[in-house]
Amino acid sequence: MDLYTEGDPIADTKAPEGPIETRWDRRRFEAKLVNPANRRKMTVIVVGTGLAGGSAAATLAEQGYRVKSYCYQDSPRRAHSIAAQGGINAAKNYRNDGDSVHRLFYDTVKGGDFRSRESNVHRLAEVSVNIIDQCVAQGVPFAREYGGLLDTRSFGGAQVQRTFYARGQTGQQLLLGAYQALERQIGLGNVEMNARHEMLELIVVDGKARGIVVRDMVTGEITTEFADAVVLASGGYGNVFYLSTNAKGCNVTATWRAHRKGAYFANPCYTQIHPTCIPVSGDHQSKLTLMSESLRNDGRVWVPKAKGDTRSPKDIPEDERDYYLERIYPSFGNLVPRDIASRAAKNVCDEGRGVGPTGLGVYLDFADAINRLGRKAIEAKYGNLFEMYERITGEDPYEVPMRIYPAVHYTMGGLWVDYDLQSTIPGLFVVGEANFSDHGANRLGASALMQGLADGYFVLPNTIANYLAAGPFDKVDASHPAAVQARADVEDRIQRLLAVNGDRTVDSFHRELGQIMWEHCGMERSATGLRKAIDEIRALRDQFWQRVRVPGNGEGLNQSLEKAGRVADFFELAELMCIDALHREESCGGHFRAEHQTPDGEAERDDERFAYVAAWEFTATGEPSVLHKEDLKFEYVHPTQRSYK
Ligand SMILES: Cc1cc2nc3c(=O)[nH]c(=O)nc-3n(C[C@H](O)[C@H](O)[C@H](O)COP(=O)(O)OP(=O)(O)OC[C@H]3O[C@@H](n4cnc5c(N)ncnc54)[C@H](O)[C@@H]3O)c2cc1C
């Protein structure tokens, strides 16, 4: 059987035409509005309380809609966004260093290896400046310079300093801003907050998203919830690799269930591998730790020039060190984009010049910066990151260079959405990392927080009105056949997972799946490896359904059951990721195909054949997915071989 079939092309029918800097204004003007009295009559479900979902729920409630918000954590403020460290981009040009909306737009399209939509990226760059104002007004404590002005630093893929930050806790501070806005609306009775509730199915009625099935993770109760529109802000799926920098709970279930109900999944193979993570130290680990990209502002990346040099770093003299990023990419140096820095690290390790016990590591050295700026200055900027590193590795990074290695960090793929952030299911909107987003094949650092908050505070609250203007829609309740069926499907799946009663833990399957994915669909992919991975995933998935052991029952808190459902979905997603990676016979951004590289080892795109978004349609279990292509047009930033040299 074929791995996939090809269907009709797909177009973004909401994308406005005209000069790029006028498109967002025009779309907002042309989109329909909902008057305040009607907003009160409509309900919106928002799944997720991270930066995207938290900001969306707070803003929609502020506008007057009734909002029902869901998250699986014990509090909305524990969403994974809280982990974000380094910063958030905005084209404020406070530094007067040549930044502008156009430059942020340009850097992002180029950084994404020309696989994103120009209109969306321009809107993102425009809105970026509003985000900073919004967050400052909320009291987010961004770092400030001595004179009181907001401070900025550099992130990869840019030659300007446009990244706003709050020490190494930017996500936490931004999330507290969104959370207090959300709490205010909860207090006013405009948002019904449902923490510890997991969405396990989407309810589609007459072709429209009208609700979700949720499980109360404490009591096990399963209920159906209804609304005029549903927003998914459920984050990324990097944990399909088992080891990643994501929080352990991050999963694909919300978007995957929607995919099975008709929402196309776009570019699933685009995974970001972050170059600066603490290396894997053994097979006991269940999670990896990021060392923020901001550290590359002051840290210099190097390995010994000689292979197999096991001397301690302080015994390796300057002229025997290879500062390979500065050598290969003199214009951007240590601040090349993540895909490029990750591959360069892999290359030097493959050459046998890696450091540390496994040889899979490179140094990130602060000695020069400490000499130049003093330890206090470094401590003020990165203190919490240094402390985290020391606690995990037992080494003091003020004294010895950090050891770092690439790890899975972010997923650029996600549910396909149009310019209005609406999926292929009318009434289902997708924001933040959960959508296929504006980052193309590679996300530049500090752009996820920007996109999540742009979507939640500024884009969705405008575009969703165009859809809701036709509402309120006919009432639906738990007795509707679509709701009865969706609920029965959830109950049946839970019973099937419990009934296997096998001899292997969920984690053991997840770990093995992650190993297959990392080996064949990780930093480097090849046709042979991907075909092998597809076979291995299918075989392992069959075993999962025969041998998984989920202790306990569904009537209360059962973390094994929660994990089992998520891993079952990861299995299906993993297969689609490999098929997507296999069909994309080019290298671009985070998707590096061994067969497609330039003579000096850089990613070799094929714009003739692959300048499109791959939007996958689910057909039926066991049947091949259908590929729909959305052609990408470049009118302002013309695709060239990306160069950071
Ligand atoms: C360690 C780390 C550091 C990072 N640092 C930066 C940085 O400095 N700058 C930057 O721009 N980006 C950074 N990122 C990326 C960025 O943090 C994320 O992309 C972003 O926070 C995602 O936000 P989100 O709102 O889309 O999703 P999340 O914050 O992941 O929130 C997802 C929400 O959905 C809920 N949810 C999910 N599934 C379900 C379900 N089935 N039912 C109910 N609820 C569900 C969860 O409970 C949660 O509330 C970092 C990422 C990591 C891992």
Q: In angstroms, what is the span from residue 612 Cα to ligand 1's centroid?
A: 26
Ligand 1 lined by 433 (C-beta under 6 Å): yes
Mean pLDDT of the chain: 96
Write the CB contacts of 267 (distance below 8 Å, at least 6 apart in sequence): 115, 412, 413, 414, 436, 441, 580, 613, 614
Q: Probe ligand 1: pick from 176, 444, 449, 493, max atoms within 8 Å of CB?
A: 449
Q: What is the pLDDT of residues 275-284, one digit of tens each?
A: 999 999 888 8
The residue whose C-alpha atom lies closest to atom 38 belonging to ligand 1 is 234
Q: Which atom of ligand 1 is nearest to the CA of 198?
A: 42
Q: What is the per-residue pLDDT for 422?
A: 98
Q: Which residue has the higher pLDDT, 292 or 596?
A: 596
Has residue 621 got a pLDDT over 90? Answer: no
Has residue 401 got a pLDDT over 80? Answer: yes
Residue 451 has which token pair?
């996109």
Q: What is the per-residue pLDDT for 643?
A: 80
Rounded mean pLDDT, 218-237: 98
Ligand 1 lined by 410 (C-beta under 6 Å): yes
Q: In angstroms, what is the span from residue 157 Cα to ligand 1's centroid?
A: 22
DSSP 8-state secondary structure symbol assigned to residue 76: G
Ligand 1 lined by 447 (C-beta under 6 Å): yes
User: 381 pLDDT band (50/70/90 cuts)?
Assistant: confident
Ligand 1 lined by 257 (C-beta under 6 Å): no
**Between the CA of residue 583 and those of 313, 436, 441, 593, 608, what are the distances in Å?**
43, 18, 15, 11, 15
Has residue 317 got a pLDDT over 80? Answer: yes
Q: Probe ligand 1: pick from 49, 80, 259, max atoms within 8 Å of CB?
A: 80
Residue 211 has which token pair?
């609700």
Q: Probe ligand 1: pick from 46, 155, 433, 444, max atoms within 8 Å of CB?
A: 433
Ligand 1 lined by 543 (C-beta under 6 Å): no
Strands of the sheet with 402-411, listed across from one edge: 271-277, 402-411, 362-365, 300-304, 321-322
Q: What is the per-residue pLDDT for 30?
A: 95
Write the CB contacts of 383 (distance below 8 Å, at least 6 apart in sequence): 167, 168
Residue 553 has which token pair?
């029952």
Q: Which residue has the higher pLDDT, 325 or 167?
A: 325
Q: 3-state secondary structure string, 433-477?
A: HHECCCCCCCCCCCCHHHHHHHHHHHHHHHHHHHHHCCCCCCCCC
Q: What is the pLDDT of residues 482-511, one digit of tens each?
A: 999 999 999 999 999 999 999 999 999 999
Ligand 1 lined by 416 (C-beta under 6 Å): no
Has residue 1 got a pLDDT over 80? Answer: no
Q: What is the per-residue pLDDT for 115?
A: 98
Q: Which residue has the higher pLDDT, 130 or 337?
A: 130
Q: What is the pLDDT of residues 319-362, one digit of tens each?
A: 999 999 999 999 999 999 889 999 999 999 999 999 999 999 99
In whole angstroms, what is the distance from residue 289 CA to residue 280 CA?
9
Rounded mean pLDDT, 27-56: 97
**Between the CA of residue 133 and those of 164, 445, 453, 588, 624, what are the distances in Å?**
11, 20, 12, 34, 47
Q: In angstroms, what is the span from residue 478 Cα to ligand 1's centroid?
A: 31
Burial of 253 (0-12, 13-18, 19+ CB in 10 A): buried
Has residue 92 got a pLDDT over 80? Answer: yes
The residue whose C-alpha atom lies closest to atom 35 belonging to ligand 1 is 48
| Enclosing H/E stretch for 135 | helix 118-138
Ligand 1 lined by 412 (C-beta under 6 Å): no
Q: What is the pLDDT of residues 102-127, one digit of tens each?
A: 999 999 999 999 999 999 999 999 99
Ligand 1 lined by 245 (C-beta under 6 Å): yes
In whole angstroms, what is the distance from residue 407 CA to residue 290 CA?
8
Q: Dihedral, CA atoms, 82, 84, 86, 91, nearest 10 degrees? A: -90
User: 641 pLDDT band (50/70/90 cuts)?
Assistant: confident
Rounded mean pLDDT, 611-620: 97
The residue whose C-alpha atom lies closest to atom 30 belonging to ligand 1 is 235
| End-to-end C-alpha distance for the chain, whole angstroms | 45
Q: In angstroms, what is the span from residue 432 Cα to ligand 1's centroid?
A: 8
Q: How much of the chain exceeds pLDDT 70, in percent?
A: 100
Ligand 1 lined by 83 (C-beta under 6 Å): yes
Q: What is the pLDDT of residues 546-577, one digit of tens each?
A: 999 999 999 999 999 999 999 999 999 999 99
Q: What is the per-residue pLDDT for 128?
A: 98
In whole angstroms, what is the distance from residue 397 CA to residue 140 CA?
29
Q: What is the pLDDT of residues 73-91, one digit of tens each?
A: 999 999 999 999 999 999 9
What residues are labeled active site?
338
Has residue 265 got a pLDDT over 90? Answer: yes
Instruction: Give which of 617, 23, 424 is closest to 435, Cα–Cα.
Output: 424
Q: What is the per-residue pLDDT for 283?
A: 82
Q: How much of the chain exceeds pLDDT 90, in percent?
A: 93
The residue whose C-alpha atom lies closest to atom 52 belonging to ligand 1 is 84
